[in-house]
């Protein structure tokens, strides 16, 4: 256990030295500020109809809930690519921490960062936005409980190791990794199409191949938004999302491990 504590201390020092990583750590505060003060003001000034405003709010909530796992995954993925570029993973093989143990450690601590960012992003906007998301006397954020947000954060955070391992395994260097990240960056906005009327029935499951769909949909169902007879229960969305993400993580890790051995 002590060797992993020392490893954690070393990683924290690296984070403090890396400006890009530091920015990724403070981005939840930026999202909270934007979601709590800027977007409510824009809706108030430019929104015309209540129905359109409510739809815009759902889009904002879905995007915010998808951002944290994606950005934390990019942070972990770039970190692993950096290790590959500098061949530092080879030196870990001769240390008390095995290579598998080191990758597992990195994955777990990135996952916890993702959970923390996901929870506080949504919870912070919920409590700091005041009446900025209130329509017909009802604040839409009141439908999201702290418990459901926390469960969502634990489930959505599993996307972090999936995407990070994928990014590290398919990228030859950081430049290529950045290109892949830009190409796949549009995936952050993919769950937004759930607000479309045509995506309320069974067609919603077409985007189920994207693992973040399941916890996002669960979050909407928990708040009684986007209701439809083709919906599953909240717990079933969460359960499928967790097992599906774990399965993809194992596949991505095997691919990454094969790359290290090649």
If you search the block for the tokens 């009446």, which residue do you land on? 131
Residue 46: per-residue pLDDT:
47
Write the DSSP assignment of 173-223 as a string of letters.
SHHHHHHHHHHHGGGGGGGGGGGSGGGSSGGGGGGGGSTTHHHHHHHHHHT
With a CB cutoff of 8 Å and minimum separation 6, the contacts of 228 are: 200, 201, 204
pTM comes to 0.78
The pLDDT value given to residue 45: 53
**What residues form DSSP beta bridges with 236?**
none
- Residue 11: closest CA among 85, 92, 69, 94: 92
CB 115 within 8 A of CB 25: no
Q: Which two tokens stand for residue 70?
A: 């994606």
Could you tell me the maximum CA-CA distance found in the chain, to the nearest angstrom? 64
pLDDT tens sequence for the chain (262 residues)? 555 555 556 555 555 555 555 555 565 666 666 656 656 665 665 455 555 667 777 777 888 788 888 888 887 887 777 777 666 666 665 566 677 777 788 788 888 888 988 898 888 888 887 777 777 677 778 888 999 999 999 999 998 888 888 888 887 777 777 777 777 777 777 888 888 777 788 888 988 898 998 999 999 898 888 788 888 899 999 999 999 999 998 888 888 777 777 6
pLDDT at residue 51 in the model: 58
What pLDDT does 49 receive?
A: 57
């Amino acid at each position: 256990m002590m060797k992993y504590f020392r490893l954690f201390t070393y990683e924290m020092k690296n984070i403090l030295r890396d400006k890009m990583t530091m920015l990724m750590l403070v981005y939840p505060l930026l999202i909270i500020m934007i979601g709590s003060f800027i977007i409510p003001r824009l809706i108030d000034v430019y929104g015309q109809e209540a129905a359109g405003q409510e739809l815009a709010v759902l889009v904002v909530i879905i995007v915010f809930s998808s951002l944290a796992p994606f950005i934390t995954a990019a942070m972990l993925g770039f970190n692993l690519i950096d290790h590959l570029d500098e061949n530092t993973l080879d030196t870990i093989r001769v240390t008390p921490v095995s290579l598998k143990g080191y990758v597992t450690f990195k994955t777990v601590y990135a996952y916890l960062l993702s959970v923390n960012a996901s929870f506080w992003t949504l919870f912070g906007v919920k409590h700091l936005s005041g009446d900025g998301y209130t329509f017909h006397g009802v604040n839409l954020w009141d439908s999201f409980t702290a418990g459901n947000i926390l469960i969502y954060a634990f489930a959505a955070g599993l996307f972090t190791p999936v995407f990070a391992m994928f990014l590290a395994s398919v990228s030859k260097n950081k430049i290529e990794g950045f290109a892949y990240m830009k190409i796949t960056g549009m995936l952050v906005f993919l769950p937004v199409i759930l607000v479309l009327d045509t995506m309320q029935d069974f067609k919603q499951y077409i985007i189920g191949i994207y693992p973040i769909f399941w916890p996002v949909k669960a979050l909407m169902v928990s708040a009684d938004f986007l209701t439809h007879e083709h919906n599953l229960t909240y717990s079933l969305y969460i359960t499928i999302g967790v097992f599906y993400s774990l399965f993809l993580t194992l596949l991505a890790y095997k691919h990454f491990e094969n790359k290290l051995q090649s």
